[in-house]
Structure 1
């Protein structure tokens, strides 16, 4: 690992380094707002114009590197006159865009907040045009470098993990060379400080109102831990275990409910044969699962050529875990698996490839996920066996089906050269000035209810709401009950009673009736 002793020391800074509120406030010029372009305003069903803005923040909060960084922001105006301040959003990833996601998701999330707040998101450092994490100078160079990378999950073959380890080293080296001037300036702690710069620039009450999804819960948990006295409202939705984000190679707890979520898919498929193409191939969920298991094994030796793509072991695993994020896509997943079972090459050739839901939002910063996640992580090694030990000793035991899906990020992060100039290294056991609302789905493939319970126990006074739905985060399978609790919390600070469980409004494989 290439790093200087000074950077290593700075990387171990904790919340005690937090800049006092008075020093943060009004340090730089405020947000410069203007009307957003029509393509962003087009998402609003009410015909409103969103506000697009920029804010200059310190490039390096340690002060070692002078200069500023310009953040791009988007504001969705409150729906009601009685404004209660602004809510900041982070959409996860890490590496997810803030501006586009805020515009496109606003019709869904704004009613859930009660409509009395402005909603604001921004492109975090490392994403969009904000210290864009591009490890290759252009798409041509990237394609030339990665075209021979197989990106295989560890169990695709006996050689897959070793090859992926080598590919991870190449990516780590390429990013270290291309981004040597900015690589250490990207990370969660600095993004937290950017977020409070936004809070101060808004000129409201100096308190954070926040809703974070997926990795956004790690960002949110870090913000609560670093600035516990500056919290007004905070929702962590689809919770990662932040301790594992910082202190493990591959976040083993993430996969706690992955296999059970897959079993729920199979069960719902058999219960809804008219909406699930796979149902005709079995008489029970167990039999269907066995057939898919055999298909996965067969694809190791006999991948399917379809159009310009090849669908083998790793591709089907990526398809399965990705589609389990979104119950609205369960019928599509069933169709695609049915095409594989029947070797329907004609139907399958219509697919251009498998998209990773964690990286598709980061198209303008292709290596953002690696840049943020890997720079945050403390453990580094040049010994593949240490990574193998975590895979086989922890992650495979957590998920027998999807345990090898984090292979590519694990192998790159273990060999990453950059360490974020600041990492939060506390235990997240804090009491915030106002209690947080923690929400976890019962069947989430990558952010299990277990992690939500853990964080709720750490943040004193917080409440846990169990969303008894499927998919990744509450908005994947909406619930009027969950939405009411979210609105009550943002509007009045009311938290759900202990043990509250909300049911989703529609079941799996539900199809909207055709309009007459």
Structure 2
């Protein structure tokens, strides 16, 4: 069967008012996941002081940190690598009221050697205000996406707001999946951040096109990265061979067990939705509360296809022009009498740049603004319109008026800066990594490059999104050239007929890279799962503040309550327009929830992490 073929979809009645459609006959397979024998056992040493029972779950035992009273180091001084590693979770006070640990887990879950190689998984937790009381419900693990995003960094930037949303009954724990962030060993193919930056500059100022010379350039670049990674991290015990999503899902089992929990509480974004699908399929009996937010079709992911993502990309990009028009001339500097006229104005500037790029000599470092740079800027801003659309408008207006002062200030938000320095000043656990290839391509089916197939593939992507397709089409090449295969990858059905508790899926109506149709397809494979649609533009629910969404998340986490079939939540704040809700009518708790959602709009997961 041609994998480029698209299955016809019937209208999905509960969401008919939004014009949504979805598959109604996607099969699921009930199966028993084979047990993994000889897995290294973790020893729990916590003091058991209370077990509280709900209808579904046992409230976990709490292990207190060994030095929780010691002063925490400032973020810039905290050294993850100096933190002791252990085969049990030994918390240390860190940052400002947080707890950190490095948990040793087996590198190879298929190995029978209990004393074999390990990986140190970095954990960072915000303790629940209710710890030690009858209200305490346990720990929620969070994943920011990527693949390759740092969960510990997500807690740094968004943990307090996530904690407010899930409620005071839960700890919030971010972990760095094996090979990423502060977990060691790290997946690094380049000798230094400077070497990586220099390498990125060589891609040039033209988009990938399957029908001209750029294809050869982009493909050769992926061959270079694949060869470097194979040499650096692809050996017998190289970390790239042990980063499969199956291994990370099993790591989550071990982490929850170490915390004294029988089942998983989880909120995963973007690629985190893939991790959630794997977990629910592999360990359906260990699902307590699992939210997958910004849902990518796991079957498409595991096929290493990356061709279902852009169905709504153009609609999200075009929303910039609609919101600008709705906001009016006082709030949007590109205002015209219709959204189409604003769109034409935007692309007139881009067409001029195609012929005459704009030099910004006083920027640090100096920059040249090209059509590719501005399309890439719009592509990235589609992930978080509320936080980023203003910068797009400021950029276009500055080019129109030849305002070099503004362009100088904006340059770093338009063109990725490159700095040639022996010491980048970036903490190693925050540095860019090569996790996408190791995880996504390792999880995927092997598909050697085929020029005829790729030409059709590229055309189909560009048909879905003329502006996003040339950017997204590189991911197929990444996996086509990738050489390192994982020691273990899960190949069973990404489905489960009987999870211990139903999953909750959350999807914006228009998500640039995880379209609603993917969420509808995934929901069919997990019978009983709930689907919450947020009527907004952007990546994951975080991209648009919605009190309605926050309330449903809180209800699901605290009581296990799913939204009614067909539930659609509206956004409370829109790009350029601002607030569209009456805050005065809200209770104190509702205001706190809405402010927490607003705080998350700037930390929307980006491709490859945050």
TM-score, normalisation: structure 1: 0.87
Q: Which residue is 2:119 aligned to?
A: 69
Q: For residues 228-261 of structure 1, what are the alpha-carbon distances to aligned partners after superposition, in whole Å with 9 as ceiling and x for unaligned?
A: 1111110001111111111033x12211111111
Q: CA deviation at 1:60?
A: 1.0
Q: Does 1:234 align with 2:294?
A: no
Q: CA deviation at 1:503?
A: 0.8
Q: CA deviation at 1:58?
A: 0.2
Q: CA deviation at 1:452?
A: 1.3
Change (3 A) 1:23 1:427: closer
- Residue correspondences, number: 487
Change (3 A) 1:160 1:348: farther
Q: Which residue is 1:19 aligned to?
A: 36
Which stretch has the larger CA shift, 502-511 or 361-370? 361-370
1:405 aligns to what SS in structure 2? helix
Q: Does 1:416 align with 2:519?
A: no
2: CA distance, partners of 1:285 / 1:189: 45
Q: Which residue is 1:189 aligned to?
A: 246
Q: Which residue is 2:319 aligned to?
A: 264
2:471 aligns to what SS in structure 1? coil
Change (3 A) 1:320 1:106: same
Q: CA deviation at 1:120?
A: 0.9
2: CA distance, partners of 1:402 / 1:144: 24
1: CA distance, partners of 2:323 / 2:268: 29
Q: CA deviation at 1:421?
A: 2.3
Change (3 A) 1:161 1:337: farther
In 2, are the aligned partners of 1:456 and 1:463 still within 8 Å (CA)?
yes
Q: Which residue is 2:87 aligned to?
A: none
Change (3 A) 1:343 1:161: farther
2: CA distance, partners of 1:297 / 1:28: 63
2: CA distance, partners of 1:278 / 1:446: 26
Q: Does 1:137 align with 2:187?
A: no
Q: Which residue is 2:456 aligned to?
A: 389
Q: Which residue is 2:492 aligned to?
A: 426
In 1, are the aligned partners of 2:120 and 2:178 still within 8 Å (CA)?
no
2: CA distance, partners of 1:29 / 1:72: 19
2: CA distance, partners of 1:192 / 1:498: 29
Q: For residues 46-96 of structure 1, what are the alpha-carbon distances to aligned partners after superposition, in whole Å with 9 as ceiling and x for unaligned?
A: x96111112110011121883111111011111234110111110111111
Q: CA deviation at 1:32?
A: 9.3
Change (3 A) 1:174 1:293: same
1:51 aligns to what SS in structure 2? strand
Q: Which residue is 1:277 aligned to?
A: 333
Q: Does 1:248 align with 2:307?
A: no
Change (3 A) 1:495 1:334: same
Which stretch has the larger CA shift, 428-437 or 294-303? 294-303
In 1, are the aligned partners of 2:210 and 2:458 still within 8 Å (CA)?
no
Change (3 A) 1:175 1:48: closer
1: CA distance, partners of 2:177 / 2:458: 30
1: CA distance, partners of 2:485 / 2:451: 20
Change (3 A) 1:355 1:344: closer
1:154 aligns to what SS in structure 2? coil
TM alignment of 1:122-201, pairs within 5 A: 122-130=175-183, 131-150=185-204, 152-155=206-209, 158-180=212-234, 181-201=238-258
Q: For residues 100-134 of structure 1, what are the alpha-carbon distances to aligned partners after superposition, in whole Å with 9 as ceiling and x for unaligned?
A: 21132122211211221111111111211323121
- Which residue of 260, 268, 289 maps to 2:343? 289
Q: CA deviation at 1:451?
A: 1.3
2:260 aligns to what SS in structure 1? coil
Q: Which residue is 1:464 aligned to?
A: 531
1: CA distance, partners of 2:457 / 2:233: 29
Q: Which residue is 1:5 aligned to?
A: none
Q: Which residue is 1:109 aligned to?
A: 162
Q: Which residue is 1:91 aligned to?
A: 144
TM alignment of 1:8-87, pairs within 5 A: 16-19=33-36, 26=42, 33=65, 37-39=73-75, 49-63=97-111, 66-80=116-130, 81=133, 82-87=135-140
More helix by share: 1
Change (3 A) 1:168 1:342: farther
TM-score, normalisation: structure 2: 0.74
Q: CA deviation at 1:39?
A: 2.5
1: CA distance, partners of 2:477 / 2:405: 35
2:75 aligns to what SS in structure 1? helix
Change (3 A) 1:139 1:364: closer
2: CA distance, partners of 1:339 / 1:100: 33
2: CA distance, partners of 1:331 / 1:422: 45
Change (3 A) 1:274 1:200: same
1: CA distance, partners of 2:211 / 2:398: 23
Which stretch has the larger CA shift, 310-319 or 216-225? 310-319
**Unpaired runs of 5+ in structure 2?**
1-30, 47-62, 79-94, 417-426, 581-610
Which stretch has the larger CA shift, 69-78 or 302-311? 302-311
Q: Which residue is 2:407 aligned to?
A: 348
Q: CA deviation at 1:173?
A: 1.2
Q: CA deviation at 1:154?
A: 1.8
2:484 aligns to what SS in structure 1? coil
In 2, are the aligned partners of 1:29 and 1:55 still within 8 Å (CA)?
no
Q: Which structure has the greater CA radius of gyration?
A: 2
2:289 aligns to what SS in structure 1? strand
2: CA distance, partners of 1:175 / 1:381: 17
**Unpaired runs of 5+ in structure 1?**
1-13
In 2, are the aligned partners of 1:24 and 1:200 still within 8 Å (CA)?
no
In 2, are the aligned partners of 1:463 and 1:498 still within 8 Å (CA)?
yes
1: CA distance, partners of 2:283 / 2:180: 24
Q: Which residue is 1:329 aligned to?
A: 388
Q: Which residue is 2:554 aligned to?
A: 487
1:38 aligns to what SS in structure 2? coil
Change (3 A) 1:424 1:156: closer
1: CA distance, partners of 2:64 / 2:181: 18
Q: Which residue is 2:504 aligned to?
A: 437
Q: CA deviation at 1:486?
A: 0.5
Change (3 A) 1:164 1:64: farther
2:509 aligns to what SS in structure 1? strand
Q: CA deviation at 1:496?
A: 0.6
